[in-house]
Amino acid sequence: MRRIVIIGAGQAGLVLGLGLLRHGYAVTVVAERAAAEVLAGRLVSNQCVFHPALVRERELGINFWDERAIPVETVSFTAPGMSWQAPLDQPAQSVDQRVKVADWMTEFARRGGELRLHRVTPDDLEPYAREFDLVVVAAGRGPQFDRLFPRNPEFSPHTQPQRSIGVLYVRGGTPPPGLSFALGPHGECFGLPILSVDGPVYGAGIFAVPGGPLDRWDDIADVDAHLVRAQQLMREHFPWQGGILDGTEPAGPLEFLHGGITPVVRQPVGTLPSGALVLAMGDAAVTNDPLSGQGANMAAHAARSYEEAIVAQGDRPFDAEFMHGAFARYWARAAHATRFSLDLLDPPPAHIMSTLDTAQRVPEVAHRFAQLFANPVDYTGWLTEETAALDYLAAASARAADQ
């Protein structure tokens, strides 16, 4: 039986691990924290997962929260003087990653997977490479495995975070339904209902251009101060939906986070001093700014792509060709999510503003834009090409006028 170890018990690693168990592989997942510790920790994400990624979880029978999670059925977009809403073809959902990871760790062990607790360093990978046929590093974003998986400059234009992020989970009030995305002059606001550790909450993220007037998290030390600051920032910078957090209270003392994430695409195949190869996955391979809501979704797609590549490899060695092929399978989709995510960080060019503006009057355009979060592949060739975008707008507007 081929033995596979996955470093990191997150959205990517656990979905791959659970997928491989179905095919009879001996799978070990190395977690840095036990399930109870994960559940008791600070919030980690907004984790809006769209239908294509939810399908993967349902195929594996690990969709434990479908009855309780509030379906995210619409995307609403607002900007100064602009507002539209469109349905998602299939509902998305956000289940707190602490809940998902804790439940999936338990399920992984119940299905026969081996869980080890170990905070792995790059030097620790050699013994794993000797013990296992394949080492997959799914340990999330950050520089810890930088020297193994260097930045690929072709797809990584930034070396610093492009947003200063403040996320808060609240209860009460009357937040809007669905996924709401607001574009302001100094950053964005992103909100949605979440099934969290102690039940439903509303997740509100403010994404500030670093150093700008919305970037005011440095002096915030606790969740109450975060709520007051977030309410103030909403009123000042997103006045058209300034009351979104009125009447709410923090969901708990740990239910907030501040930080910045540098988007990066890495070389996915690392070589250890012994010459053994290791394969990066999920955020460890490709990290997008969370503004586009793609990371957890791409993690699920990576799990599918890698699982398919591993199964297709049969008894042949997990060599460099295999590893590059597995990543290429994933990148065929992830490249579009990365482009979409990178472009969202820049001031929108005129043809995208025209698209967002037209979406107010032409439901077809609003609908197509809303589905980009679930299917960023459609972004390329539509909104990456000014002429194509403007031609489409003219045709969609004519169709709407004919109706």
Ligand X SMILES: Cc1cc2nc3c(=O)[nH]c(=O)nc-3n(C[C@H](O)[C@H](O)[C@H](O)COP(=O)(O)OP(=O)(O)OC[C@H]3O[C@@H](n4cnc5c(N)ncnc54)[C@H](O)[C@@H]3O)c2cc1C
Which residues would be at the binding site for ligand X (CB under 6 A)?
Answer: 7-13, 30-33, 45-48, 97, 101, 119-120, 138-140, 144, 165, 167, 205, 282-284, 290, 293-297, 299
Q: Which is nearer to ligand X, 297 or 355 (CB)?
A: 297
Cα gap 403→393, rounded to integer Å: 16
Q: Which is nearer to ligand X, 5 or 352 (CB)?
A: 5
Whole-number minimum distance, CB 402 to ligand X, in Å? 37
Q: Which is nearer to ligand X, 327 or 392 (CB)?
A: 327
Q: Which is nearer to ligand X, 294 or 338 (CB)?
A: 294
Whole-number minimum distance, CB 298 to ligand X, in Å? 7
Whole-number minimum distance, CB 170 to ligand X, in Å? 15
Whole-number minimum distance, CB 108 to ligand X, in Å? 12
Q: Which is nearer to ligand X, 99 or 365 (CB)?
A: 99
Q: Which is nearer to ligand X, 46 or 63 (CB)?
A: 46
Q: Which is nearer to ligand X, 107 or 389 (CB)?
A: 107
Whole-number minimum distance, CB 94 to ligand X, in Å? 7
Whole-number minimum distance, CB 158 to ligand X, in Å? 16
Whole-number minimum distance, CB 120 to ligand X, in Å? 4
